[in-house]
Amino acid sequence: MQYNLFCDFLKNQLLQIIMTTPLVFQAKAMSIRLFSFALLFGIIFVATIVKVFDTHQPLKNEILDGRDDFVAIPMPGGAVGPESLAFDGAADGPYTGVSDGRIIRWRANESRWVDFAVTSSQRDGCVGHHDHTPMEHICGRPLGLRFNEKTGDLYIADAYLGLLVVGPNGGLASPVATEWDGVAFGFTNSLDIDQQSGVVYFTDSSTRFARRDHISIIISGDNTGRLLKFDPATNQTTLLVNNLMFPNGVALSQNGVFLLFVETTTCRLFKFWLKTAIAGKVEVIAQLPGYPDNIKRNKNGEFWVGIHSKRDKMSKWFILNSWIGDFVVRVCGIDVTRLHLRLARLIVRYGMGIRLDKDGNVVEVLGADTGRRWRFVSEVEEQNGDLWIGSVTRSFVVREKI
């Protein structure tokens, strides 16, 4: 939608609400009108800023500024968004899913990416230097990745196509779970695997909003997210926890006693007990300083949580008053995710990597204060003395020595 049409649309929508507000309760009507006017001008003001500064240029490599002790590895073929990383049983890789629906593999000895798998057979118009977002539901958008080390199979959480699996040789992945109790997965996001049993634990971030509308999940206070598990031995999917607010990263403890998972909206870290006398219990164990994405366990049984960006006072206010965001999403029809992404180009906020001990306690924070100027962090993966940093919006992966 062009800018002028965009503003006219906002005016028409909000003015209609203002003019049709019942006058029976004068004080309440006046408050609604004042709020509507303020919201109208606020949104138009932000839209104006976005128009002025949006040059439609590729996102710059801010992550490289001022540091020379790491390597940034660009994505091939116009793809962006290496959101999650996985290494196979031989520690080769990483493998990552990108915006055009491919899963690609890094060949270190050749210093290049090669195609490994796809989640959709419909590939016309998917690859190339263009915005892949409008075709995500067709081309697929692979997010969470994890290998079953016994079988060599790669399990994939595709935001639109559900939970899939592909064999050790790659190719076209096959769906194994797309719904639970008749409710389709709306935003399959992250996963982990019990390497003993083969059970896959994964998150469905929302049944109301798709990945391309993920900011709407946050500002509307949507709580339709779910934590689930899939057992390949029985082909059964089981619900573990529901009514979650943007459940995202999930990781199994080394002894298989509990799961850690996060809510992106509330920035909370949870522990879900799988065994012991309190199996099935969920408890909040930390309030994180920013919006968490994926969780990955290292070889020592510790965990790394990727933090997209810090949580500021304005975002806290919006989340506490989610009815405002819900109003904007339901009535105004604004693409708040795209608006947020463009505005984020103007406001420099750095992400973080948070290391947890084996019990899920915070023991280290890597961020701007420690010289890590990472932006839009989705995952921190520790492998052979390196930290690999993924991002759902960047056009590269970062590898940094610990």
pLDDT in tens, 18-69: 454 454 444 554 555 455 445 544 554 444 434 433 333 343 444 444 455 6
Question: Can you give the pLDDT at residue 334?
Answer: 59
| CA–CA separation, 303 and 299 (whole Å) | 9
At residue 11, does pLDDT exceed 60?
no
Torsion of CA 189, 203, 196, 168, to 10 degrees: -20
Alpha-carbon span 38 to 19, nearest angstrom: 15
Structure-block tokens of residue 382: 């520790």
Residue 349 confidence (pLDDT):
76
Look up residue 312 and give its DSSP letter: -
Bridge partners of 8, per DSSP, are: none
pLDDT score for 331: 57
Region 294-312 average pLDDT: 93
Label residue 53 exposed, middle or buried (CB < 10 Å: 0-12, 13-18, 19+): exposed
Specify the pLDDT at position 70. 80
Across residues 83-112, what is the average pLDDT?
96
Would you call 42 helix, strand, or coil by DSSP?
A: helix
Answer yes or no: is pLDDT of 258 > 90.
yes
pLDDT band at 372, cuts 50/70/90?
Answer: confident
Distance from the first to the final alpha carbon of the chain = 45
Q: What is the DSSP letter of 246?
A: S
The arithmetic mean of pLDDT across residues 310-337, rounded, is 65
* Joined tokens for residue 79: 């793809």
Side chain identity, residue 160: Y
pLDDT band at 4 (very low <50, low <70, confident <90, very high): very low
Which pLDDT score, from 0 to 100, does residue 100 have? 98
In this model, does residue 212 exceed pLDDT 50? yes
Q: What are the beta bridge partners of residue 352?
A: 307
Average pLDDT, the chain: 84
Q: Kindly report, residue by residue over 325-353, the tens digit of the pLDDT.
A: 666 666 555 566 666 666 666 666 789 99
Residue 1 has pLDDT above 70, yes or no: no
The pLDDT value recorded for residue 343 is: 63
Most confident region among 55-59, 64-68, 71-75, 314-318 by mean pLDDT: 71-75
* pLDDT for position 61: 44
pLDDT at residue 310 in the model: 86
Element (H, E) at 323: helix 322-327
Count of Cβ atoms closer than 10 Å to residue 204 Cβ: 29
Q: Name, in order, each residue with C-beta under 8 angstroms of 318's C-beta and a sequence gap of 6 or more.
A: 218, 219, 324, 325
- What one-letter code names the amino acid at 257? V
